[in-house]
Structure 1
Amino acid sequence: MTAAEERKVDVLAFGAHPDDVEIGASGILLKHAAQGYRTAICDLTDGELSSNGNVRQRRAEADRAGEILGLSHRIRLGLPDRGLTGAPEQVEAMVRVIRSLQPRVVLAPHWEDRHPDHTACAHLVREAIFDAAIRKRDQASGQKPHRVERIFHYFINDTGKADVIIDISEGYEHKKAAILAFESQFVPGPGRVETPLNRPTYLPMIQGRDQLWGHQIGALYGEGLASPRPIALRSLLPERD
């Protein structure tokens, strides 16, 4: 296997901050990693403006979460927190990630969320996916164009209409552990200020949302995804023999 082949992944999840993907889509990454697929997370920023913690802590926490999730790669782009402007150089940095990892499926935050960085990330991901497939773009880099097969959007702070719900019941405790790896964000403690993330209602809300989605598909837990495009089915029923 070549070095390029070793970098390839099946599922790549983008988040504006470390912990975004853990909240909204870590169960999906866990499930696919357990099935032998290669998964990765790309954190656009280090969350350096978070009320609690610092960059060093957030990176260490992200590394612990990545180990729990069985990631093949965790990439940090180091873009500015609250500075996801959609500038060409930001899109280009994400294009390089997509072309390098060549994911079949990309996950991004939902385009509606209370945090502006999450919605900005959703927009940036869709721009980068489009540009990554353009053959004549940035030919000097030596990277080949790559066309992503599907993009789905996961929910972070809010809930909404899910076009797809994935059963994540098996190993749900690992999702909880991956979230709690970000102790500085979710666990109150000395010297930490109260935020929406470390209030006693936040993590139960996430678990309750996963239970609600699970209930809709007859499972204990599920994660909901929204699709920006219609989902194709070959038929409403299995093909006859």
Structure 2
Amino acid sequence: MKLDILVLSAHPDDAELGCGGTIAKHVSLGHKVGLVDFTRGELGTRGTPETRAVEAANAAKILGVKVRENLGLKDGFFRNDSDHQLKVIQVIRKFKPDVVLCNAIYDRHVDHGKGASLAYDACFLSGLVKIETTDEQGKKQDAWRPKVVYHYIQSQLIEPDFIVDISGYWDTKIEAIKAFKTQFFDPNSEEPETYISSPAFLKMVESRALEFGHALGVKHGEGYTTRRYLGVDNLFDLV
């Protein structure tokens, strides 16, 4: 299946938090979007890999994506090396996305910056014909390089290079985030409180979206950074 947009994330719930509104908006516009999580989030204080898998599937249904897969890399300890790059190259060549969205270039969680570098490097390497990979059936894959790679912004305050207007998709984003019931605020939970399970965390997520939206003169926005120059076809493409 060829996708228009592929979201590569270190953990289940990264995509929902960082670009859930963008995903929902582009799905509504008719684009084919898929998610690939690198790890099962097994080092998370709350929940289990099994509960995270169920939550990730529920969130994917809310967002309306075509596919969600998990590479099963080691949470906290995956690396940006050739073995890991080849695993990511396989999914890039499998889905042939034009656009890749991935983790923030740096963030509070060490996996996010690593995930950003792993995704970015794999996107480049995936276009090299002399790197050979095979699909699940053992068939040789064709080289494929996405047209662009963008990094969504997470908990660390990073100045965006551009902002996507997600007004009208905020409720979908929040519903997808809250599908991860074990991870976020639940007054009835007996598990230890974490950085993301406090009531203040989701307020921070919304305040960030409101701030980015305000910069555009709209209700909510999601910010991105890019490692290349941005171009527009004409000035009326700009919000």
The TM-score with structure 1 as length reference comes to 0.93
Match of 1:202 in 2: 201
- The 2-side partners of 1:152 and 1:120 are apart by 15
1:139–1:212: structure 2 CA closer, same or farther, 3 Å change rule? closer
Q: Does 1:25 align with 2:25?
A: no
Match of 1:218 in 2: 217
- The 2-side partners of 1:171 and 1:110 are apart by 21
Report the CA distance between 1:234 and its aligned residue: 4.5
- The 2-side partners of 1:133 and 1:10 are apart by 17
Report the CA distance between 1:84 and its aligned residue: 1.6
Match of 1:173 in 2: 171
- The 2-side partners of 1:235 and 1:66 are apart by 34
Runs of 5+ consecutive residues of structure 1 not aligned to the other structure? 1-6
- The 1-side partners of 2:133 and 2:146 are apart by 18
Match of 1:43 in 2: 37
- The 2-side partners of 1:55 and 1:236 are apart by 46
Q: Which amino acid aligns with 2:93?
A: R
Q: Does 1:88 align with 2:82?
A: yes
Report the CA distance between 1:168 and its aligned residue: 0.5
Match of 2:124 in 1: 130
- The 1-side partners of 2:225 and 2:185 are apart by 29
Task: Summarize the alignment of residues 225-240 of structure 1 with structure 2, pairs less than 5 Å apart.
Answer: 225-234=224-233, 236=235
Q: Does 1:65 align with 2:64?
A: no
- The 2-side partners of 1:119 and 1:199 are apart by 23
Match of 1:3 in 2: none
- The 2-side partners of 1:172 and 1:181 are apart by 14
Q: Which amino acid aligns with 1:183?
A: K
Q: Which amino acid aligns with 1:67?
A: K
Q: Is 228-237 or 78-87 further displaced after alignment?
A: 228-237
Q: Which amino acid aligns with 2:27?
A: A
Report the CA distance between 1:10 and its aligned residue: 0.5
Q: Does 1:117 align with 2:111?
A: yes
- The 2-side partners of 1:191 and 1:78 are apart by 28
Match of 1:153 in 2: 151
**Identical aligned pairs, as a percentage?**
34
- The 2-side partners of 1:218 and 1:127 are apart by 35
Query: Aligned pair count?
Result: 232
Report the CA distance between 1:147 and its aligned residue: 1.6
The TM-score with structure 2 as length reference comes to 0.93
Report the CA distance between 1:28 and its aligned residue: 0.4
Q: Secondary structure at the match of 1:183?
A: coil
Match of 1:164 in 2: 162
Match of 2:3 in 1: 9
- The 1-side partners of 2:32 and 2:90 are apart by 18
- The 2-side partners of 1:180 and 1:207 are apart by 13
Runs of 5+ consecutive residues of structure 2 not aligned to the other structure? none
- The 1-side partners of 2:20 and 2:133 are apart by 34
- The 1-side partners of 2:89 and 2:27 are apart by 24
